Structure 1
Amino acid sequence: MLSLRPVAATLLALAVAVSVASAEKAAPVPLAELRAAVTKALPLLERSSAFALQERACFTCHHGAHPSLVLNDAWARGFGINTNNFEDQLARAYLGLIEDRPRFKDGWSIAGTADGPGTALWMLEVAGWKPDATTAAAAEFFLDQNKNLDHWVPPMKRPPTVGSEFTTTYLVLRGLRSQSWPELAMRARTRTAAAGQWLLAAVARNTEDSVHRLRALHLLDLDEAALKKEAAELLAVQAADGGWPQKPDTASDAYATGTTLAALHDTGALTVKDAAFQRGLRYLLQSQAADGSWHVRKRTHDVQPFFDSSFPHGVDQFISISATSWASYALLRAVPRTEKKTYLAAHPQAVARVLASARPNAEQHFTEGQFTFFREKIEPVLSAQCYECHSATAKKLKAGLHLDTRGGILTGGDSGPALRPSDPDRSLLFRSLTSDRLELMPPKHKLPAAVIADFRKWIEMGAPDPRTEPAAKPTTYK
């Protein structure tokens, strides 16, 4: 039950609300208007998602997964998309899972415990990705998470996108259904059954909760009455303007409205012809900015340093790109699908491209001369400039980043992998060394141009590095 209505509301009234909303019809929004709105939004989503690939080394939900869900659906409905960018987004999602596999064994993920991997699996699933060892590793990680509970919990509170136990649980359940392996089936059934009982008993307290409780109930095909009741609760709080609020004390916005319309449609609670759905579409069309975006104000604290992704709305751009994605996704529910195949089924060569792009860190064969270059030119600089904060001997490890082994550099820390072999300009380590920002590395002094050139050359040759054990003590570099 979504706690946004007066307590006096009865289940009978809720049931009537569903039946009336389903039976009542409204003049549909013209298809041309829907297509025009999505067409305005797509360039913003593509530009900003592509920019984020360059700015951030880790997989993100707001700039990666959410826009990609839209790009996938837009392609399936005849819209032109930048296929190179879309495949790059898939590669980043898959690479994130590859890089997380060592962390999975330690019980964590760079992208937010279960939320990040779960969203990545959803993104890959709808594109047509088939389960493999990498996706199954994520599924096994889910099964090892929150084993003392009957559901899954988020790693932090960053509302509205992160912080709901219903959202985390839905993402996990969807990943277990679509991207697991038979060897995990028995454990998955046990955890899923427990989560199902929790879903039936738990109470949704805001729109985000209710949206994902509805999705999870539908995914598991549980109690039909419970699903109808949750849908009725969502319908009952549709505002007079046609939109939905995130919480009882807030106004309608595109994020809550887009996610709600999408959930009601995808679970079969509403069709695009129903009056409530049409009112929601009209709200989205009327609230879209002239530049094609939807503006939603953030209501959470910053976890990572802000960066301008070229998306509108300044400090609100992270939640606004998610809102624009979900608003566009909802509008696309009312646009007929023209492509029967998944994207990857229609573009089989894209699978190989994604794999090739996502595995630049695969084991490489280096010459002794390349290792000598590292020992003479690179290792002394890392030791003198970086080990104090980023090594096994650091008094206080910063950003979870170890730079004293090749594995530590490739795995990375809180901001993702420290380097991309063969690609210095997309490597956080190289960009930090060349930055003018004082808070970035190196902390002692700006490196000479010749040293920076050495680092570029080293990364371009694939980052040869024979270190397997952390250094016992720093070396000296002047």
Structure 2
Amino acid sequence: MNRICFSSSILILAIGIPVISQAGEQAERTTQIRKAIQKSIPLLETASAGSTRERKCFTCHNQALAVLVLDEARQRGFKIDQANFQLQVDHTAQHLKRGLGNYRAGKGQGGGPDTASYALWTLETAGQKPDEVTTAVTGYLLERDKGRPHWTRNSTRPPSMSSDANTNYFVIRALQTFGSESQQPEISARIAEARKWLLDLKPASTEERVFQLRCLQILSIDDAIQQTSINGLLKLQNTDGGWSQLPEMQSDAYATGTVLVALLRSHLIDADEPAIRKGIQYLVDTQQNDGSWHVISHAKPFQTYFETGFPYGKNQFISVTASSWATVALLLTQPKVD
């Protein structure tokens, strides 16, 4: 009897070892992710504050994405600079308000539908309610590209503004969130046209695949169609766990961050899937000691360069964009707190 009990105890212990090891591995992984997030947040706050200090205009990379990161962070119990968060929201609202006359006239502001829709996304993230300014902006978006099957980007600045799928995601989201009651018939008609275009789109880049999927999500397209889009992104994952902007390029934090956010926003793939875990580990492993991720710019500059406190000189704007998406991806693996 004693021998049998002893053998059973050994068996129980043997079975228990992988369980303990797995739990320890998960705890270590969570610690790595949280440390990466904690390193990134202060640098992104510095960049957003620097941009607000240096420029009166709204920027997608330093206001919209900073607000997104900080909102996701505070929902998960991370400490943020609340005053800076509000500063970025106010800066965005003031930028749109300065353009109110032009929006009412159908002219918009610099950056066209991209600036307008990104700014409304920022206000949505911050929980701002519709008002006369947001109604004027959505009115402008409805006038923009009228007669075309979808909205077109204002400029080409790869990778973050290299596809009309990106523009359509943010415009559709803005109209869904801030469109007035009187605008609803036109909104429905324009979105229905864009929906057809999006379903027929044959994506030519990771960026296009990402924002086609995100459009499918906000339009509540059939799960089977969304799954096909997800599968297409999963097939593009590189052996290092990351994604690249184009097949001939190497993995980087911009492509990897945007892909992971699109996948993690879907109810069709779990955060514990091997592909997701590998992608998250790629981001953890490639983060720099200062909390940033470095991505090389491929866009032709048209804005006057200015410093924000973020590293990498003239590569800083795409790098802060990449670092923001990477941080959001990491945050989406963490539970929200009450």
Give the alignment's TM-score, normalised by structure 2.
Answer: 0.90
Q: CA deviation at 1:52?
A: 0.7
1:82 equivalent in alignment to 2:119 = no
Question: What does residue range 351-366 of structure 1 map to in structure 2 within 5 Å?
Answer: none
Quote the residue 1:244 is aligned against: 243
Quote the residue 1:130 is aligned against: 129
- Are the equivalent residues in 2 in contact too, given 1:214–1:227 (CA < 8 A)? yes
Task: Check 1:129–1:175 CA distance in 2 against 1; reply closer, same or farther (3 A cut).
Answer: same
The number of equivalent residue pairs is 314
Quote the residue 1:208 is aligned against: 207
Task: Check 1:333–1:29 CA distance in 2 against 1; reply closer, same or farther (3 A cut).
Answer: farther
Counterpart-to-counterpart distance in 1, 2:254 and 2:292: 11
> Any stretches of 5+ residues in structure 1 without a counterpart?
1-25, 340-478
Task: Check 1:303–1:37 CA distance in 2 against 1; reply closer, same or farther (3 A cut).
Answer: same
Quote the residue 2:290 is aligned against: 291
- Are the equivalent residues in 1 in contact too, given 2:108–2:140 (CA < 8 A)? no
User: What amino acid sits opposite 2:102 in the alignment?
Assistant: R
Quote the residue 2:50 is aligned against: 51
Counterpart-to-counterpart distance in 2, 1:134 and 1:100: 9
Quote the residue 2:330 is aligned against: 331
User: What amino acid sits opposite 1:325 in the alignment?
Assistant: S
- Are the equivalent residues in 1 in contact too, given 2:103–2:109 (CA < 8 A)? no
Q: CA deviation at 1:226?
A: 2.1
Q: CA deviation at 1:106?
A: 3.9
Quote the residue 1:191 is aligned against: 190
Q: CA deviation at 1:111?
A: 4.1
C-alpha offsets along residues 78-125 of structure 1, whole Å, 9 cap, x if unaligned?
111111110010011111221222122343333411111111111211
C-alpha offsets along residues 283-335 of structure 1, whole Å, 9 cap, x if unaligned?
00000001110000000111111111110111110100001100000000111
Counterpart-to-counterpart distance in 1, 2:318 and 2:79: 25
Counterpart-to-counterpart distance in 2, 1:90 and 1:168: 21
Q: Give the ranges of 4+ consecutive aligned residues of structure 1 lying more than 4 Å apart after TM superposition.
A: 26-29
Quote the residue 1:306 is aligned against: 305
C-alpha offsets along residues 31-78 of structure 1, whole Å, 9 cap, x if unaligned?
211111010011100011101101011000011111110011101111
User: What amino acid sits opposite 1:163 in the alignment?
Assistant: S
C-alpha offsets along residues 187-238 of structure 1, whole Å, 9 cap, x if unaligned?
1000011111111111111011111100101111123322111111001000
SS at match of 1:30: helix
User: What amino acid sits opposite 1:235 in the alignment?
Assistant: L
Alignment RMSD, CA only?
1.4
Fraction of identical pairs, as percent: 38
Counterpart-to-counterpart distance in 2, 1:108 and 1:69: 27
User: What amino acid sits opposite 2:91 in the alignment?
Assistant: R
- Are the equivalent residues in 1 in contact too, given 2:166–2:211 (CA < 8 A)? yes
Quote the residue 1:93 is aligned against: 92
Q: CA deviation at 1:27?
A: 5.8
Counterpart-to-counterpart distance in 2, 1:108 and 1:241: 45
> Any stretches of 5+ residues in structure 2 without a counterpart?
1-24
Larger Cα Rg: Structure 1 or Structure 2?
1
Give the alignment's TM-score, normalised by structure 1.
Answer: 0.64
- Are the equivalent residues in 2 in contact too, given 1:58–1:111 (CA < 8 A)? no
Question: What does residue range 240-279 of structure 1 map to in structure 2 within 5 Å?
Answer: 240-279=239-278
Counterpart-to-counterpart distance in 1, 2:279 and 2:27: 11
